[in-house]
Homo-oligomer: A and B are copies of this chain.
Amino acid sequence: MRRLFLTVLVVACAAPFCAAAQAASAAPARVVVQVSEADPARWTLVLNNVKNLQDDLGADKVTIEIVAYGPGIGMLKFDAPTNSRITDAAKAGVLIQACENTMRNQKLVRADMHPNVTYVAAGVTQIIKRQQEGWAYLRP
């Protein structure tokens, strides 16, 4: 009888305990990185930051998603000066997302974009959603 109560107790408490503990450092690192400026020097900084995170934590220990929107969309165009580094980042497992809202406003189509890019309806919603799922936010 005592054993039954203790078992129920442990099972019932394990869920909240784990959920709460996920907020702490035991959780795998997940980071959403925002690109919202038209400056190629900032794009290079973003790509350096992503590479440093992977080098420092181990590429398999950190999940990274770059989201480019507004004036930042230029980083993901096929003819951007960052083209080869986007290829490298994608090969290294980084998810690279372009905002379709922005593309529509700037008359960009998928053929204009880097082939390793994937798409979200609204970049800003994606950035908020990731944070509310517990991801860290980086705005270089």
Contact = CB atoms under 8 A, between A and B. Distances in A.
Interface of A: 1-2, 4-6, 8-10, 12-13, 15-17, 19-25, 27, 29, 31, 34, 36, 41, 45, 48-49, 52-53, 55-57, 62, 70-71, 101, 121-122, 124-125, 127-129, 131-134, 136-140
B6 A6 contact: no
- 10 smallest CB-CB distances across A and B, nearest first, come from A19-B20, A131-B136, A16-B16, A16-B17, A56-B122, A20-B20, A128-B136, A49-B124, A56-B125, A16-B20
Main secondary structure of the interface of A (DSSP, over half): helix
B132 A29 contact: yes
Oligomeric state, in copies: 3
